[in-house]
Structure 1
Amino acid sequence: MRIGLTALALVLAACGPTTGTSETAGTSPAGTEVTETVEPTAEEIEAETARLNAWFDEKYEEELMMSPIQLTFIGRKDRYGEIDDMTVEAMEEQLAWKAATVEEMKSTFDYDKLTPEAKNSWDIWEYQYEQQKEGMKYVYNGFTFDQMNGPQAFLATFLIQFHRVESLEDMEAYISRIRASGRAGGQLLDHAKTAAEKGVQTPDFALEGVIDQSRKIITGAPFTEGDDSDIWADIKTEISTLQDAGTIDEAQAETLLADAEAALLETFQPGYQAIIDWAEAELENAPANPTGVGTTQPDGEAYYNYRLRAMTTTNLTADEIHQIGLDEVARLQGEMEAIKEDYGFEGTLQEFFTFLRESTDNRDLYYEDNDAGAEAYIADATAAIENIKTMLPDYFGILPKADLIVKRVEPFREQDGAAQHYYSGTPDGSRPGIYYAHLSDMTAMPKRELEVIAYHEGLPGHHMQISIAQEIEDLPQFRTQAGFTAYSEGWGLYSEWLAKEMDGTYVDPISDFGRLGSEIWRAIRLVVDTGLHSKGWTEEEAFEYFVSNAAVTEAQARSEIQRYIVMPGQATAYKIGMIKIQELRADAEAELGDAFDIRAFHDVILGGGAMPLEILERRVDQWVEDVKAESADAPAEPAELEPAE
């Protein structure tokens, strides 16, 4: 999960496909003489590619230096005491910079003198610019503060989990960032107020989530009486660790504690109180049974169509996505019927859903709803990941170097029934990837879903995909950090399905039912997301469809529907991406026959980092052609002679 300025300001998205073009010999306006096309030599291609890749790294370094947050995410300490500028003006400056780079790229380099991979890099760079450009049209349509990805939770999480303290200077930078967070939060609050003035009303549940999370962050010492708040406890631990290591002395430790407390009380707490005050005031205007953006926001239909293009990196319409969802729900329910019978349940599938949903006292199906149950969940998820690690070499040539750990979400942002998620480690492996689980309500975390979620968020899912991307050495650096939801979430969902091919997974029918439950969950998303944002479904209508077609608990379904409302289009990316990867694999298997290598296929999918689905398809097609060419060039095996009788 990567969050910088554009993500926090709700501009992170992708638009429809574009490809790089350049003038070539042999093309000319109609009616003029056409010259003969001259194919570039291998040396020319190698030289132009090297020149472009060096340029990409230079420009990406400039781009990175615009975001102190992103620098920290990738493990660097440049601008370590700063927080990004969150204003629209800053976003416009970044967009202008990106536009200038695209013009420079087109005027400086020859697209036709590049390797296929370098052409992919060109197209992705231009695609990212187009994504930012189109996103600016809808800069006020998104919800600045919400219960899912609001900066109120992110800023505290960022300081506690991602700002590494290894020196006196690092701790001083931590304190500096506490003060800077007040400025950044104020900028985002101004953005939210402007959006509200333009008719973008945040739903009541989202505002309530913002209020709850913000209050938890500033509850406890030094803000109120009682135990230390999470951020104060972290600060004290960091300073104590430095002192114990002899990095700072007692006087320096006392100064740091005093400075940190002052920053928390003078800047941090007032900033969070301002967010709480705004959210409480906005509750009066919030719809109690909200629907999607298509019918409630200025330019809502155009905004949602943009979000679908952004999230799926396709031109599929809302109606087409809705129908794909309905078809997939029907197909998956047929497979669920078979597993229900294997389990020995004699009622209908809907009755089986109800049985699973309501059997929270059955220890074969659910963990204890307490800290012991949460600890057991973490242990079992870790064990599932450790098991699948042993089988990865049979399915992948490239393996991640970074470690993976499973953790419970911090108390101040933990929500009953909320979706699990992944935070990436650093490219150098100094910080491991983290699979986070919401465990405040264990009745929303049935045992049947433990494996499938671990495979999606951990291995072979997001941890493998993101770690491999970050560790790639022969691509421009921007490719290692690129993010496209349909690709990344499509891979996560494909990983759930892929894991079934591996030994020791989904060994009992109920776990395999959980796998199908996870997939149908994503199929339902296609129906519900488009239903909410394109067809005017209310929250309650969407909720009823969800619980009627899956075994999820009511807490899970409610949390999911509310997620879709505040993140229009995002939920459609999973199934669309998975279907594309499955299609690419099936086509490659059919084309290559015995020459198909599952490890090589997965390396092609993961070895170029995240990309739009159209470019991914082109990359796989190129690999298939390369394998065919190698097979054609290979010397024929000598025929075996039959022994004489």
Structure 2
Amino acid sequence: MRISKYKAGLIALAVLCAASCKRAGREETAEKLKAIASRYYEENMAFNPIQSTFNGEDKYNGELAIDISDEWRLRVDSFCVRFQQELAGIDTNVLSSNDRITYDMLTRELAITREGFTFHDNLMPVQQFTCLPLTLAQLGSGSAAQPFKSLKDYKNFIHRMQRFAVWTDTAIANMKRGMATGYLLPQALVVKTIPQMAALAQKDSSNIYFAPLKSIPDTITGTERAQLVLDYTATVNDYIIPSYAKLQQFLETEYLPKARATSGINGVPDGKAYYSYLIKYWTTTAKTPDEIFALGEQEVARIRGEMEQIKNSTGFQGDLPAFFEFVRNDKQFRIFRTPQAVLDSFKAIENKIMPGVKKMYGHLPKTKFEIRQTEAFRAASASAEYQPGSPDGSRPGVFYVPILDATKFSYVGMECLFLHEAIPGHHFQFSLQQENDSLPKFRRFAWIGSYGEGYALYCESLGKELGLYTNPYMYFGRLSDEIHRAIRLVVDVGLHTKGWTREQAIKYMLDNEPVSEQEVTAEIERYMAIPGQALSYKIGEIKIRDLRNKYTKELGNKFQLSSFHDELLKDGCVPLSVLDLKMERWSKSF
């Protein structure tokens, strides 16, 4: 049957209209999702003003949320429910691949936030590794994210310090509830936290909170300057110092005698379920504790085998534990005399690798980068770490190195440490994510441990390709860092589900890597303080390395490492399941 030109035209017009309507529908859905994501970020920052400051935004620089209070948790839970209801109206079938990442990540974030509120971590709000009293002190040092460039900046922090007194009272009330219900910190962590609070309760000018008064901008003059000094000093004396003193006294006299003797989170009433939640939170997988423990033992055995080969290549006479002892203590590995010499050595590593890094990555961050010594008030309990810069470039990304005694600082692990914490590890990952203004803000500032730490650990494996690890002891340092992350899978699960003691975990770590007992103790106590976080590194690294191997094989001569790395990083932190899907789409574009 012949179709008239008139009817054919109508059909073509109908097809065109249908396509246009479909496209309009997709665009409308995309804009709706964009608006939801934008509002979510803005409202979430109001609930989390400290995070807003670290994100380089100044809207809430004077605020301090009492985020351990029941009232705050209920309000945030209601906020999450509202956004879950809005997302339910999104037709996921018409979303682009990037919008689908946004949808999946926001859906997960809302659900996992709400699930977290069913547990009672707010009854254990203070510990030695990461908590508001330590974070606020960093901000108060004047060298972190809190700006001190104008009179308004100083007034903002004055108000934030005043709010800390409310947070302190809430924390103590919560810990008393924890004492009554079994939600208590291990004794070993309380012992380490007390001197930190005492140091920050010092009344003399050495207190870190007085530091911003030593660098008041020249633009603040005359009576304004004089009044600022009075107001700021009074706030530190009347709010900050008494709050830390109150925390110290409470922890020492009331809390420590009641603190639990157990080391793992399974020592609190719902600890087993909480640890399963934390595994899901930190690894973005459905792995069980037993699966992770077995994976850890397997990786430890594999890496020990490679360590044996390196030991033999050096001509060392003795077994691996003896080699550990040699690398731990021999003076040839302690070459530094001053903290500056340590920092200079890290700078030399940066200079050496940059030509190779520029070939491995098509897109390099614009954010500036600095290497600094960790502040004295937190150095004793700190690990080397990276703190992101601000998206506008006003604050550089900083690689912090704790140096308690430069003469005892070993050079053995420096190369892999720099690759992980600095370049091309956390500095590239954080900076490229924050600089990508095509991402919704909540994604620009998102952190997913299995991706972020997994990528940074993967970067350690790039050392030989970048001209590092030519010294067998430096490569042994790389293996030591890798086995360190594998050991974490064993000791973290051991502590939190298998009844391991702190001392048992310390022994396992000392038996399997060449680090000092002081370092090992700080590490194990870190895992006791933040259960599950240490699992993210190795699980994420294995996923990224598997993806690189898979596509190197599948794509053959089409595979370009710079293209792989750019794709890996361009969408920022994503759950591992989302990473799988996006890398699969990338591979099909060739």
8 A Cα contact 1:40 1:113, kept in partner = no
Which of 248, 254, 260 matches 2:220? 248
Q: Tell me, in whole angstroms, the C-alpha distance in 2 between the residues paired with 1:141 and 1:478.
A: 24
8 A Cα contact 1:456 1:493, kept in partner = yes
Question: Counterpart of 1:236?
Answer: 213
Q: 1:187 and 2:170 equivalent?
A: yes
**Partner SS for 2:465:** coil
Deviations 1:395-429 (A, max 9, x none): 1122111111111111111116x421111111111
Which of 314, 334, 340 matches 1:366? 334
The one-letter code of the counterpart of 1:185 is T
The farther-off stretch of 168-177 and 464-473 is: 168-177
Structure 1 segment 61-72 matched on structure 2, within 5 A: 61-72=42-53
The one-letter code of the counterpart of 1:333 is R
1:291 is displaced (CA, Å) by: 2.4
Q: Tell me, in whole angstroms, the C-alpha distance in 2 between the residues paired with 1:498 and 1:127.
A: 31
Question: Counterpart of 1:399?
Answer: 364
1:153 is displaced (CA, Å) by: 1.3
Question: Counterpart of 1:155?
Answer: 136
The farther-off stretch of 473-482 and 569-578 is: 473-482
Structure 1 segment 458-607 matched on structure 2, within 5 A: 458-503=422-467, 505-607=468-570
8 A Cα contact 1:150 1:210, kept in partner = no
Which of 436, 439, 442 matches 2:400? 436
1:38 is displaced (CA, Å) by: 9.8
For the aligned residue pairs, the C-alpha RMSD in angstroms reads 1.9
Q: Tell me, in whole angstroms, the C-alpha distance in 1 between the residues paired with 2:77 and 2:447.
A: 17
Q: Tell me, in whole angstroms, the C-alpha distance in 1 between the residues paired with 2:50 and 2:375.
A: 20
Q: 1:414 and 2:395 equivalent?
A: no
1:407–1:110 CA distance, 2 compared to 1 (3 A) = same
Q: 1:322 and 2:322 equivalent?
A: no
The one-letter code of the counterpart of 1:235 is P
1:592–1:291 CA distance, 2 compared to 1 (3 A) = same
Question: Counterpart of 2:188?
Answer: 205
The farther-off stretch of 252-261 and 511-520 is: 252-261
The one-letter code of the counterpart of 2:191 is E
Which of 245, 257, 262 matches 1:273? 245
1:251 is displaced (CA, Å) by: 1.8
Question: Counterpart of 1:26?
Answer: none
1:444 is displaced (CA, Å) by: 6.2
Q: In structure 2, list runs of 5 or more residues that go unmatched.
A: 1-17
Q: 1:164 and 2:147 equivalent?
A: yes
Question: Counterpart of 1:385?
Answer: 350
Q: 1:353 and 2:318 equivalent?
A: no
Task: Give percent identity, aligned residues only.
Answer: 33
Question: Counterpart of 1:95?
Answer: 77
8 A Cα contact 2:387 2:397, kept in partner = yes
Q: Tell me, in whole angstroms, the C-alpha distance in 2 between the residues paired with 1:494 and 1:248.
A: 47
1:521 is displaced (CA, Å) by: 0.3
Q: Tell me, in whole angstroms, the C-alpha distance in 1 between the residues paired with 2:64 and 2:370.
A: 27
1:47 is displaced (CA, Å) by: 4.8
8 A Cα contact 2:123 2:175, kept in partner = no
1:214 is displaced (CA, Å) by: 1.3
1:530 is displaced (CA, Å) by: 0.8
**Partner SS for 1:407:** strand
8 A Cα contact 2:361 2:566, kept in partner = yes
8 A Cα contact 1:461 1:495, kept in partner = yes
1:44 is displaced (CA, Å) by: 4.5
1:581 is displaced (CA, Å) by: 0.6
**Partner SS for 1:75:** coil
The one-letter code of the counterpart of 1:285 is K
1:264 is displaced (CA, Å) by: 1.3
Which of 133, 146, 162 matches 2:127? 146
1:397–1:199 CA distance, 2 compared to 1 (3 A) = same
Q: Tell me, in whole angstroms, the C-alpha distance in 1 between the residues paired with 2:19 and 2:306.
A: 55
**Partner SS for 2:81:** helix
8 A Cα contact 1:82 1:173, kept in partner = yes
Deviations 1:63-106 (A, max 9, x none): 22332212211222113222123222112211211221121122
Question: Counterpart of 2:86?
Answer: 104
Q: Tell me, in whole angstroms, the C-alpha distance in 2 between the residues paired with 1:130 and 1:447.
A: 44
**Partner SS for 2:446:** coil
1:578–1:444 CA distance, 2 compared to 1 (3 A) = farther
Count of residue correspondences:
569
Deviations 1:295-335 (A, max 9, x none): x1101111111111111111111111011111101110111
**Partner SS for 2:38:** helix
Question: Counterpart of 2:256?
Answer: 283
8 A Cα contact 1:152 1:210, kept in partner = no
Q: 1:342 and 2:313 equivalent?
A: yes
8 A Cα contact 1:73 1:162, kept in partner = yes
Q: Tell me, in whole angstroms, the C-alpha distance in 1 between the residues paired with 2:20 and 2:348.
A: 55
Question: Counterpart of 1:262?
Answer: 234
1:142–1:404 CA distance, 2 compared to 1 (3 A) = farther
1:217 is displaced (CA, Å) by: 1.5
The farther-off stretch of 561-570 and 193-202 is: 193-202
1:41 is displaced (CA, Å) by: 5.0
The one-letter code of the counterpart of 2:385 is H
1:399–1:251 CA distance, 2 compared to 1 (3 A) = same
Question: Counterpart of 2:4?
Answer: none
The one-letter code of the counterpart of 2:177 is T
Q: Tell me, in whole angstroms, the C-alpha distance in 1 between the residues paired with 2:465 and 2:534.
A: 26
1:40–1:122 CA distance, 2 compared to 1 (3 A) = farther
Which of 98, 111, 115 matches 1:134? 115
Q: In structure 1, list runs of 5 or more residues that go unmatched.
A: 1-36, 628-645
8 A Cα contact 2:36 2:86, kept in partner = no
Which of 89, 97, 101 matches 1:116? 97
1:285–1:441 CA distance, 2 compared to 1 (3 A) = farther
8 A Cα contact 1:140 1:191, kept in partner = no
The one-letter code of the counterpart of 2:42 is E
TM-score (norm. length: structure 1): 0.85
1:385–1:46 CA distance, 2 compared to 1 (3 A) = farther
Question: Counterpart of 1:297?
Answer: 268
1:512 is displaced (CA, Å) by: 0.5
1:135 is displaced (CA, Å) by: 0.5
Q: 1:58 and 2:55 equivalent?
A: no
1:479 is displaced (CA, Å) by: 0.9
